[in-house]
Amino acid sequence: MSGDRADYIRGLRNLADVLEQNDDLPLPHQGSVASMTFYYLSSPDPVSRMIAAMQAIPCGFTSEIVTSEDNSRAYLHLDGELHGVMIKLTAFLKDTCAQDEDGTWRITDAITSRAPEAEASA
């Protein structure tokens, strides 16, 4: 495990201890109000990486397809909650889904077998 990764994990554990010992301290926004997000935007294989994350994180995930008029900002979001911590896995739609002739985006079967299917029209 790299030093940066080990430091980050240690920091999360220390932060959990601090939160546990200080009830007057508010919860961090990321994770309690907004999702703690894992991005797969530059991954060479986002589908496999997202599936690996879903298998590693012990919670259920739901899927959401988010598109813009011209699909310039089109994403697949997989949302879960791990004991009160909101989690999001995000990748570009074009890298994780296929578009039907009618413009409807379909999530790959490999992902939908692990998260309920969502649809969106382009």
Q: pLDDT digit of tens for each residue in the chain (122 aa)?
A: 779 999 999 999 999 999 999 999 999 999 999 999 999 999 999 999 999 999 999 999 999 999 887 767 899 999 999 999 999 999 999 999 998 999 888 998 889 888 876 665 55
Q: Which helix or strand (DSSP H or E) is residue 18 part of? A: helix 3-21
* Cα torsion angle, 42, 43, 46, 52, sign: negative
pTM equals 0.89
Burial class (CB in 10 A: 0-12, 13-18, 19+), 67: middle
* Cα torsion angle, 1, 8, 57, 52, sign: negative
Confidence at residue 121, expressed as pLDDT on a 0 to 100 scale? 56
